[in-house]
Amino acid sequence: MTDASTLPGQPRGQVLSGPATERAVNVLAPNASAMTLDGTNTWIVAEPGSDLAVVIDPGPLDDGHLSTVVDTAEKAGRRIALTLLTHGHPDHAEGAARFAELTRTRVRALDPALRLGDEGLAAGDVITVGGLELRVVPTPGHTADSLSFHLPADRAVLTGDTILGRGTTVVAHPDGRLGDYLDSLRRLRSLTVDDGVHTVLPGHGPVLEDAQGAVEFYLAHRAHRLAQVETAVEDGYRTPAEVVAHVYPDVDRSLWPAAELSVRAQLDYLAEHGLI
């Protein structure tokens, strides 16, 4: 058995619904798959003693899950006052409109098409609800509209799909761009160095106790993959499918379509920088 403390980011262990930090509670959606890991983590975030809460990523359009999120907040004596989205992929956002109906809340997102209400989200925004403070951190790359939320009181960051609790994420070409993603990882590393963030609350997988270690692992992994792709092209592997088969032979073939998206993003990056 591998000691979790030796794994990148020091994952906490099994993914469970329940409290993760003093202010954040997870409600795990029943949509486990190879791409979503154990399922989508829907986060309820609230200041201790407050009767108001914020929900981040209601998840799939599953009435049972959405009702469980509402019930979990209400059992803690809280009313959901606002819904936020890290990005627009269906496993995070498909249930947002229905959830807004259930809770009579606004939905704030970077993408105007996902918003319900007049307010969106932008870099530098500070969201305050019932004494809770969340800071919006732009983290494009997985998708163009990806955001993270810095929870300074818990020295934590909610990362959506930008950093996962297990494995690595897809740069979802063409919407996602590798250069943006690398910049986003560096931005998150700054949070760990300059703002003392030590906990990652991801969109999928377990909580990570070592945020800086997780970011450093992701940056090293991306550099390694990029070098592999560059070498593969030099060796004559030209199409994205050929590169995937050469570079990702150890990856489950069911995940090769997702790997191909990342390869396309890597090929674009290499071409933009005159490396191929």
**Could you give all domains of the chain from N- to C-terminal order, each with its CATH number?**
18-273 (3.60.15.10)
CA distance 246 to 262: 14
Please give the model's pTM, rounded to 2 decimal places.
0.95
User: Residue 108 region, left (φ>0) first, then alpha (ψ -120 to 50), else beta?
Assistant: beta
**Contact predicate 165/200, CB 8 Å:** yes
CA distance 96 to 116: 9
Q: How many CA atoms lie within 13 A of 163 on its CB side?
A: 37
| Sheet of 52-56, strands arranged across | 18-19, 24-28, 41-45, 52-56, 79-84, 107-108
Kindly report, residue by residue over 79-131, the tens digit of the pLDDT. Answer: 999 999 999 999 999 999 999 999 999 999 999 999 999 899 999 999 999 99
Kindly report, residue by residue over 167-192, the tens digit of the pLDDT. Answer: 999 999 999 999 999 999 999 999 99
